[in-house]
């Protein structure tokens, strides 16, 4: 059954990732790739069944897990093509000035995550919707690196099928297992590239606006943990007496391919290995997380089923090999720190009954992107195809012209319509 696996999410120094074993047959052409691509319409809902003919194409996409239990799709080793930084005032810089360095803590460090919440916390304004703007600024600043060497055609300047945030792809990966939160993804086709930008759902906005004080404080704990674990320079130490400012960010920009979808996406990176002998990005990057300490078998099972799914999806996408987790008690004290290798997570969850599977996540994402490519056909920067999903339903979409959903800024359209120097 595993015979055709092309990339496994276990390998960390790799050309392909694959879920649970090393060295699958990487030379094999993926069943979803190029000429051998056969749209697996069995999970697209059809209005009428006409067996053995080309099935009519549906305008909805199923999110049922069973529909995606096939071989792991080709996912090329993500390559970092650049990075950018956002400073304490959320200003963009086309460089790594916000990079931080991982400092290994004691196993039981007793960090107080509540420290500074009232006095040393500057919180990013969540009412400001930045959409894809930072990525688009990065694209303009690095346009010469990105233009296809084969096509000098000015109408197809970017050699990517999709441009988006890593976080949006994470949501797609976890969709077949999500039972609580739906999503809205706005898609615009411009010069042949599909741009995907999230729209906050009404439910998410309500939740954000009515967040209990305890939750607000717990959101701070994650950032405070980063401050305890990261130094600003390779040979300095963390400074827990400083201000936590969540405007600051270091983002990697990676390119990769999922079957026949060429992707360019950016994701925030917490820190990197400070050893000068560490591998190049993204292999030197470290993702930091906090989680409630695990005291019972039920808590362990929930951690495997829900937390590890999200952690795996988020770091697997850009090829970040490890997550360092701080387990905290009810009062926000870190009682233990543990490293999770992304490549070992699928093994770790194997004993969980009816657990999530990396292949389902990746195949769903792949089929969603194929669905978007097929449906979002009009190349027009002011047209938005709004893809919508609620748990226990299919993905649907609606089309919007010159609406409040348009998200490609005029400065970007203007710059990209100009032919490159
Ligand atoms: O406006 C929006 N709807 C979004 C903006 C949604 C998602 C991201 N962004 C932007 C921001 O500019 C941010 O700097 O993306 C950046 C992070 O993007 P990502 O890496 O694609 O997002 P994700 O993987 O969801 O989150 C990575 C980290 C989070 O760390 P944890 O360990 O909690 O997953 O980025 C932070 C957070 O620290 N983060 C955000 N920062 C600013 N704005 C946002 C956000 N909306 N969401 C997560
Ligand atoms: Ca983090």
What is the whole-number distance in angstroms between the Cα of residue 174 and the centre of ligand 2?
A: 17
Q: What is the pLDDT of residue 43?
A: 43
What is the whole-number distance in angstroms between the Cα of residue 293 and the centre of ligand 1?
A: 24
- Given a cut of 50, the residues of the chain with pLDDT beneath it are 1-15, 17, 19-50, 153, 156
Residue 46 inside a domain? The answer is no
Residue 354 inside a domain? The answer is yes
Residues, beta carbon < 5 Å, ion ligand 2: 270, 288
> Is the CB of 137 inside a 6 Å radius of any atom of ligand 1?
no
Question: Could you tell me whether strands 92-93 and 396-401 are parallel, antiparallel, or unpaired per DSSP bridges?
Answer: unpaired
Residue 190 inside a domain? The answer is yes
Q: What is the pLDDT of residue 146?
A: 85
Ligand closest to CA 323: 2
Q: How far is CA 355 from the centre of its chain?
A: 21
Total domain count, the chain: 1
Q: What is the pLDDT of residue 41?
A: 38
HEC string of the chain?
CCCCCCCEECCCCCCECECCCCCCCCCCCCCCCHHHCCCCHHHCCCCCCCCCCCCCCCCCECCCHHHHCCCCCCEECCEEEEEEEECCCCCEECCCCCCCEECCCCCCCCCECCCCCCCCEECCCCCCCCCCHHHHHHHHHCHHHHECCCCCCCCCCECCCEEEEHHHHHHHHHHHHCCCCCEEEEEEEECCEEEEEEECCHHHHHHHHCCCHHHHHHHHHHHHHHHHHEECCCCCCCCCCCCEECCCEEEEEEEEEECCEEEEEEEECCEEECCCCCCCCCCCEEEEEEEECCCCHHHHHHHHHHHHHHHHHHHHCCCCCEEEEEEECCCCEEEEEEEEEHHHHHHHCCCCCCCCCHHHHHHHHHHHHHHHHHHCCCECCCEEEEEEECCCCCEEEEEEECCCCCCCCHHHHHHHHCCCC
Residue 5 inside a domain? The answer is no
Residue 42 inside a domain? The answer is no
Question: Is the CA virtual torsion 161, 186, 220, 329 positive or negative?
Answer: negative
What is the whole-number distance in angstroms between the Cα of residue 75 and the centre of ligand 1?
A: 23
Residue 16 inside a domain? The answer is no
Task: Tell me the residue ranges of DSSP E strands in 155-298.
Answer: 162-165, 183-190, 193-199, 230-231, 244-245, 249-258, 261-268, 271-273, 285-292
What is the whole-number distance in angstroms between the Cα of residue 100 and the centre of ligand 2?
A: 12
Question: Going by C-beta distance under 8 Å and a sequence separation of 6 or more, which residues neighbour residue 67?
Answer: 40, 42, 43, 364
> Is the CB of 167 inside a 6 Å radius of any atom of ligand 1?
yes
List the domain range (segments joined by +) for residue 199.
63-145+154-415
Q: Choose one of 123, 167, 323 to mutate for the ligand 1 pocket test, by most ligand atoms within 8 angstroms of C-beta.
A: 167
- Name the residue with the closest Cα to ligand 1, atom 37: 268
Nearest to 223 by CA among 115, 337, 310, 315: 115
- pLDDT tens across 224-242, in order? 999 999 999 999 999 999 9
Q: Which long-range contacts (CB under 8 A, 24 or more apart) does 207-214 make?
A: 208/126
pTM of the predicted model over 0.85: yes
Whether the Cβ atoms of residue 23 and residue 5 lie closer than 8 Å to each other: no
Q: What is the pLDDT of residue 145?
A: 85
Question: What is the rounded CA–CA span in Å between residue 84 and residue 94?
Answer: 5
* Helix-strand-coil split of the chain, %, nearest 5: 25, 25, 50
Residue 261 bridge partners (DSSP): 258
> From the CB of residue 333, how many other CB atoms can be counted at a distance below 10 Å?
17
Residue 91 inside a domain? The answer is yes
- Considering only CA atoms, give the Rg of the chain: 22
Q: What is the pLDDT of residue 33?
A: 31
- pLDDT tens across 132-174, in order? 999 999 999 999 888 755 555 455 479 999 999 999 999 999 9
Q: What is the pLDDT of residue 410?
A: 98
Q: What is the pLDDT of residue 7?
A: 43
């Amino acid at each position: 059954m595993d015979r055709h696996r092309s990339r496994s999410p276990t390998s960390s120094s790799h050309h392909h990732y694959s879920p649970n074993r090393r060295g699958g047959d990487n030379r094999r052409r993926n069943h979803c790739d190029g000429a051998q691509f056969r749209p697996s319409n069995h999970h697209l809902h059809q209005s009428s069944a006409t067996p053995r003919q080309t099935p009519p194409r549906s305008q909805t996409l199923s999110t049922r897990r069973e529909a995606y239990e096939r071989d792991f799709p080709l996912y090329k080793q993500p390559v970092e093509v650049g990075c950018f930084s956002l400073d304490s005032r959320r200003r963009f810089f086309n460089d790594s000035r916000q990079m931080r360095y991982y400092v290994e803590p004691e196993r039981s460090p007793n960090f107080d995550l509540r420290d500074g919440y009232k006095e040393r916390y500057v919180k990013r304004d969540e009412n400001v919707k930045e959409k894809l703007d930072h990525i688009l600024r990065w694209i303009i600043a690095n346009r010469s690196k990105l233009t296809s060497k084969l096509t000098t055609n000015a109408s197809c300047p970017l050699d990517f099928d999709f441009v988006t945030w890593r976080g949006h792809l994470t949501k797609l990966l976890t969709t077949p297992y999500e039972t609580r939160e739906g999503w809205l993804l706005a898609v615009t086709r411009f010069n042949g590239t599909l741009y995907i930008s999230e729209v906050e759902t009404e439910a998410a906005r309500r939740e954000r606006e009515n967040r209990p004080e305890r939750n607000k404080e717990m959101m701070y704990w994650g950032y405070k943990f980063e401050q305890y674990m990261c130094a600003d320079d390779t040979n300095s130490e963390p400074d827990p007496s400083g201000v936590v400012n969540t405007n600051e960010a270091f983002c990697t920009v990676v390119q990769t391919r999922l079957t026949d979808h060429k992707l360019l996406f950016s994701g925030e990176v917490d820190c990197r290995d400070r050893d000068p002998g560490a591998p190049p990005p993204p292999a030197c990057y470290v993702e930091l997380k906090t989680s409630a300490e695990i005291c019972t078998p039920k808590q362990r099972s929930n951690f495997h089923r829900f937390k590890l799914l999200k952690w795996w999806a988020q770091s697997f996408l850009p090829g970040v090999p490890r997550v360092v987790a701080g387990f905290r008690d009810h009062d926000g004290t870190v009682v233990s720190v543990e490293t999770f290798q992304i490549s070992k997570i699928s093994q770790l969850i194997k004993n969980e009954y009816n657990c999530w599977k990396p292949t389902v996540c990746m195949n769903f994402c792949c089929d969603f992107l194929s669905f978007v490519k097929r449906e979002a056909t009009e190349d027009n920067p002011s047209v938005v195809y709004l893809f919508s999903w609620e748990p226990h339903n299919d993905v649907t979409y609606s089309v919007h012209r010159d609406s409040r959903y348009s998200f490609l800024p005029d400065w970007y359209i203007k710059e990209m319509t100009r032919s490159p120097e």
